[in-house]
Structure 1
Amino acid sequence: MDVHNAILPGNFDEEIYMDLPLGYHIHIEQHEGEKLGNQKGAFTTILVYVNDIIIGGNSQREIDLLKAHLHRKFKIKELGPLKYFLGLEVARSSTGINVCQRKYTLEILRDSGLLGTKPASIPIELNHKLSHTTNEFLQDPTTYSRLIGRLIYLTITRPGITYAVNVLSQFMDRPSQAHLHSAYRILRYLKGSIGQAIFFSSKSSLHLKAYSDSNWAACPKTRRSVTSFCIFIGDSLVSWKSKKQVTISRCSAEVEYGALASTSCEIVLLLGLLKELSIDHAQPAILLCDNQAVIHITKNPIFHERTKVLSRSRI
């Protein structure tokens, strides 16, 4: 749905931010003798971005009643079933929902002049040594910053470029030709997989399963490590992350424990979201890690010099 005149004309001297107050709920009034919004077991979710609205739920009746309520309060244009929203292309079938950003990807390639480029097999070179350099700075860094910003938005449906984009976003203050060349490599990778998408299966079980990993001392300058994880609901990927840790770790086991902690926080957040959507998740979530040191310490929490920090954290 689209709200007319959501952005009123006018000149402002400062930026204005608005947010719903804590505990705010939409009260659907009775209309034409009906008692609305009380269907047992039904829930309705509204996603609002400025003047664009997505409505979802498990009861078509409740959705229709909510739309009628909004129509009485505001001038709203109904655009039908969700197909395109903020660059996201949504396709439905009996097997599930497919979400991609093909049009958005083509726009990035066109604006960068790389529509006819040769595709790359991987988004970033293996064992890269990218860092802040002292020469070959870009005269106009805005082009690089804008490109990285667009790639960050593209990670919504392209988790495969998340790590590469995370690395390149660290150099937006003083980008060089080497950084721009690496950004173009990501575009060449996208050229070979423009239609790749995220698929949410309708036949998958509603069971959270998470995979956690890390890269110890990945940053050559700060020696900070990288946390990475991906979380599935059944067979559908719903959350992923690749980000530098805020502290410097002295061993790989400590790094893995930090990554596991971050992944656990995301699992708790998703469990809370499922509960809010009235989705029962009775079984425990599964968290997997491949670090042998962490696995052995978990099974046998012995104390020695290399695990002193971890032991103190548990105390």
Structure 2
Amino acid sequence: MRSYTVNFLKMSTWLFLLVSWVTVVHSCKINKSLYGYKQAHVDHSLFIKSDASKFTTLIIYVDDIVLTGSSMHETAHIKQILHSHFHIKDLGLLKYFLGIEVAHLDARISLCQWKYYLDLLKDSGTTRSKPCSTPMDSALRLHQYSTKPLAYPLSYRRLVGRLLYLTTTRPDITFATQQLSQFMGNPTQMHLRAAMRVLHYLKHNPRKGLMFSRDSPIQILGFSDADWATCVDSRRFVTWYCFFLGNSLISWKTKKQNIVSRPSSEAEYRALASTT
């Protein structure tokens, strides 16, 4: 199965003219955005078309489309239809999309954000920093009023926001970014040092990412866990889970539980329920 990218060079102009003409001449109701495709509930930019013999998916971002499916003939047909209505540019196999680099190998497909991470290092001024082996200090417990507040909290918010996007291909920093994102309103010096440590950890192995095996079995396997009242301010437990499709990691999450659990077994059951 191959993935392709399509760039709409003149789509914006055509859509503007079309909408202007429809407004003047007649009002039309559009029942579906893409006829024949179903919009995914988890991601509204994902559209799926399937039947008993084949399936096709499209991921749309502004004027770019990632097109993939189980039938090369169906993929070529869709590109031909798009080209007949709009002047499109076929960029071939998917190699780079929204800061994510895609490498097609014989046995697997790998995803990483190497260039995105290099830009993050450069902007934060930590290009020559010393790497560390863990994203957070295991003995550190971040809380709201730990040290002196930052004079310019915008830099901390920007850094944490970019780290959150980096979790797209780096699930190993998900817990650290979840902890850091709790203090966006009033970050302190300690919070900033903890965020910088994540950058140092990423430098330890910057090319790490996700691997998707081409011959992986179609079997879903999930894991869940909960820590022991990590949040010092609220005393809430943190739920963590991940799902594998065969050998490939496809979904993961770290989130603070909504209520305070008294025994640890209750927190584990809540984590399991959230995972299910």
Give TM-score scaled by structure 1 length.
0.74
Q: Matched residues in 2 for 1:195 and 1:153: separation?
A: 16
Q: Deviations over 1:283-314 (max 9, x none)?
A: xxxxxxxxxxxxxxxxxxxxxxxxxxxxxxxx
Amino acid at match of 1:108: L
Letter matched to residue 180 of structure 1: L
Secondary structure of the corresponding residue to residue 167 of structure 1: helix
SS of the counterpart of 2:242?
Answer: strand
Residue 176 (structure 2) aligns with: 164
Q: Which secondary structure state, in structure 2, belongs to the residue aligned with residue 179 of structure 1?
A: helix
Q: Secondary structure at the match of 1:79?
A: strand
Q: C-alpha deviations, 1:70-120, integer Å up to 9, x for none?
A: 112222211110000000000011111000001111110111111111001
Match for residue 103 of structure 1? 115
Name 2:265's counterpart in structure 1: 253
The aligned residue for residue 26 of structure 1 is: 35
Residue 136 of structure 1 aligns to a residue whose secondary structure is coil
Q: Determine if the alignment matches structure 1 residue 3 to structure 2 residue 3.
A: no
Q: Where does 1:1-315 land on structure 2 (aligned, <5 Å)?
A: 1-7=6-12, 25-27=34-36, 41-133=53-145, 135-264=147-276
Q: Taking every aligned residue pair, what percent have the same amino acid on both sides?
A: 44
Give the whole-Å Cα distance in 1 for the aligned partners of 2:10 and 2:275: 41
Asked if structure 1 preserves the Cα contact closer than 8 Å seen for 2:10 and 2:86, the reply is: no
Whichever residue aligns with residue 128 of structure 1, its letter is L
Relative to its length, the structure with more strand (as a share) is 2
Amino acid at match of 1:257: Y
In structure 1, stretches of 5+ residues that fail to align are: 11-20, 29-36, 265-315
Describe the superposition over 1:161-219 as per-residue Cα deviations: whole angstroms up to 9, x where unpaired. Answer: 00000000000101111111110000000111110010001122111111110013221
3-state SS of 1:209 partner:
strand
Q: How many residues align?
A: 246
| Higher alpha-carbon Rg | 1
SS at match of 1:190: helix
Give 3-state SS (helix, strand or coil) of 1:80's partner: strand
**TM-score under structure 2 normalisation?**
0.84
Amino acid paired to 1:192: H
Given that 2:174 and 2:254 are in contact with CA atoms closer than 8 Å, whether structure 1 keeps it comes out as yes
Equivalent position of 1:304 in the other structure: none
Matches of 1:181 and 1:38, distance apart in 2: 48
Q: How far apart are the structure 2 equivalents of 1:199 and 1:79?
A: 23
The offset of 1:24, in angstroms, is 5.3
Structure 2 gaps of 5+ residues are 1-5, 17-29, 38-48
Partner SS state of residue 148, structure 2: coil
CA contact (8 A) 1:39 1:62 kept: no
In 1, the alpha carbon distance for the partners of 2:132 and 2:215 equals 34
